Amino acid sequence: MNAVKSILLRREIGIFAAIVVFCAIVGIANPRFLTTDNFRVILLLMPLVMVAAMGEMLVIIARHVDLSVGSTLGFSAMMTALMFKLAPGIPWYLGFGVAIGIGAVLGLINGAMIIAFRLPAIIVTLGTLYLYRGLTFIASDARQIDRQFIPGPLKAMSANSPTYALPWIVIIAVAVVLITYWFANHSRLGRQVYAIGSNPAAAPLRGIPVTAVTLAVFSISGALAGLAGIMYASRWAFVNPSNTGWGFEFQVIAAVVIGGVSINGGVGSVLGVVLGVLLLSCVSAALPLLGIAGTVQSAIYGLVIIIALVIDQTVRERGILALASARSARP
C-alpha cells in the first residue's frame, strides 16, 4: 500500500519473528521449553500483564505514560482483599466491581492532575506510584492478606476453566483484548485517543474534547490495573502491600513498547502489544529452564525498554529520511 503502513506491518512481523527465534533457541537448549505443560506456564504468566498492557497502550498512544499501574494494582487488590476479610459474607464476584471501580478512580485522579495542573503525565504518575503504594501500606497496616481470606471461587478462576483447559483469568484477558481492539479501532472515543496522540495541538481545533478523552484514557488504564489486581488475588491467593504489583509497571511498559507502540503517540496496535506480552512471557518462562535466576528479570526488562526505545527512534528517523528523499525524487 504505502511506505508507512508497511513499516508498521514489518514491526509486528518482526516481533513475531523474534518470538519464534527465541523459542527455537531456548527449545534447543532445553527441550522442556517446548512442551504443552510449559505453554500452559507461559499462558498463565500473561493475563495480568496483558490486561494492564491494554490500558497502558491507550495511555501511551495518547502521548502520555502511566507509571502508577503497579501501585494501582496493589491498592485495588488490597482494598478488595480487605473487603473480603472484613466482610466475609459479601458475594465474591462483587470483588470485580470493587477492584475495577477503585482502579478507575485512581486513574481518574491521575488524569485530573495532569489536566488541571498541566503537568507531564510521567511526573504525576511517578508521584502517584509512591502515593498509591503508600496508601496501600496504610490501609493494610503493612500486613499481608492470606489465602484463607480470598474467596474460594475467586481462587478457582485461575485453575478452573470453561473450555479448552483455559483458566477463567485467561478468558478474561482474551475478552479484554478483544474489547480493546474494538474500542481502539471502531469506537469514536478510541479514534479520538489516537488523534490526540498524533497531534495534541490540533485536537482542540478539531473539536475533540481533549480533557474528556484524557480523563477517559487514564480511568481506563486505572480500571484495567484494578482488574489486574483482582486477577492477582485470584492467581496468587494472597495480597501483600510491598510485593503486589511492585515493579509491574516496567513489565507492562516494556511489553507495550516492544509491541510497537510509539512513545510519541498516535501509533500502536493491539496485535503488537499482544505479541509484546507474549515475547516477555516467553522470556520469563525461559529463565528457570535455562538455569538463570529470576533476579535477572529486572535487568532484562530495563534492557528491553532501552532496546525498544532505540528501535522506535531509529524507525522514526528512517521514516523521516525516507520521506525526505521521496520528496526530492518528485518530478
Partner 1 sequence: MTTEPIAPTANALDAAPARPLWQVIFIRPVMLTVLLLILEPIVASVFWPQSLDLQYILSTFTLTAPLALMALVLTLVIIAGEIDLSPASSMALTACVFAAVQQAGVPFPLAVLICVVLGLVLGLFNAFLVVFLRLPSLIATIGTLTFYRGLAQVLAGDNSIKLPEWYMGLNLVTILGIPVPDLIVLVAAILLALLLGATIFGRQVFQIGTNEIAARHAGIRTRSIKTTLFATLGVVSALAGMMFVSQLGTVRYDLGLGGELQMVLMAMLGGTYIFGGRGSILGTFLAGWLLSIMTNAMNTASWLPATQFCLLGVLLIVSIIITNFIYSRTQR
Partner 2 sequence: MAEPTTDTPLIAARGISKSFAGVEVLRDVDLDLQRGEIHALLGENGAGKSTFAKILAGVHRPTRGTVALNGEVVDINSPITAQKLGVTLIHQEPISFPDLTVAENLVLGRTVGAPLARVHWAQMTREARQLMDLLGVRIDVTRPMRGLSIADQQMVEIARALASDSRLIIMDEPTAPLTPKEVDTLFGIARRLRGEGRTIVFISHRLEEVRSLCDRVTIFRDGNRVATDTIANLSDGDIIRLMIGRPLREYMKKHGTTIGEVALKIEHLSKPGLFTDISFDVRKGEIVGLGGLIGAGRTDVARAIFGVAPASSGTITVNGKAVVVTSPSQAIDLGLAFVPEDRAIAGIFRTLPVEQNISAAVPRRIAPGGIIRRKVEKALAAESVRRLRIRLAWMRQPIGELSGGNQQKSILARWLLTDPSVLILDEPTRGIDIGVKAEFYDMIGELAASGRAILLISSELPELLALCDRVLVMSEGRLTANIARADASQESIMQAAVPRSTVAA
Residues in contact with partner 1 by CB under 8 A are: 65, 67, 113, 117-120, 122-124, 126-138, 142, 201, 205, 241-242, 247, 250, 253, 263, 293, 295-303, 305-306, 309-310, 313
Q: Which does 323 bind (CB under 5 to 8 A by kind): partner 1, partner 2, none?
A: partner 2
Contact 138, 75 (CB under 8 A): no
Residue from 267, 291, 325, 278 nearest 9 by CA: 267
Shortest approach of partner 1 to residue 67 CB, angstroms?
8
Is residue 4 at the binding interface for partner 2, with CB under 8 A as the rule? yes
Joined grid coordinates for residue 36: 504443552
DSSP letter, residue 128: H
Question: d(Cα 173, Cα 185) in Å, to the nearest integer?
Answer: 18
Spell 11-27 as b/e; 16+ CB within 10 A means b. bbebbeeebeeebeebb
Distances (CA, A) of 253 to 165, 173, 203, 320: 29, 17, 25, 25
Position of cell 458475594?
91
Identify the residue among 216, 224, 278, 279 touching partner 2 (CB under 8 A).
216
Phi first, then psi: what are they for 166, rounded to 5°?
A: -100, 120
Q: Which does 25 bind (CB under 5 to 8 A by kind): partner 1, partner 2, none?
A: none
Is residue 187 at the binding interface for partner 2, with CB under 8 A as the rule? yes
User: Residue 59 is which amino acid?
Assistant: V
Joined grid coordinates for residue 56: 497502558
Identify the residue among 186, 291, 293, 295 touching partner 2 (CB under 8 A).
186
Residue from 97, 116, 77 nearest 225 by CA: 77
Is residue 3 at the binding interface for partner 2, with CB under 8 A as the rule? yes
Coil/strand/helix, residue 156? helix
Binding mask 47-86 for partner 2 (x = CB under 8 A): ----------------------------------------
Count other C-beta atoms under 10 Å from residue 251's C-beta: 26
Contact 265, 60 (CB under 8 A): yes
Q: Which does 138 bind (CB under 5 to 8 A by kind): partner 2, partner 1, none?
A: partner 1
Binding mask 234-273 for partner 2 (x = CB under 8 A): --------------------------------xx------
Shortest approach of partner 1 to residue 251 CB, angstroms?
10
CB closer to partner 2 out of 71 and 219? 219
Q: Which stretch binds partner 2 (CB under 8 A): 50-58, 123-131, 204-212, 233-241?
A: 204-212
Q: Which does 195 bind (CB under 5 to 8 A by kind): partner 1, partner 2, none?
A: partner 2
| Site residues (vs partner 2, CB under 8 A) | 1-5, 183, 185-192, 194-195, 197-199, 201-203, 205-208, 212, 216, 266-267, 321, 323-328, 330-331
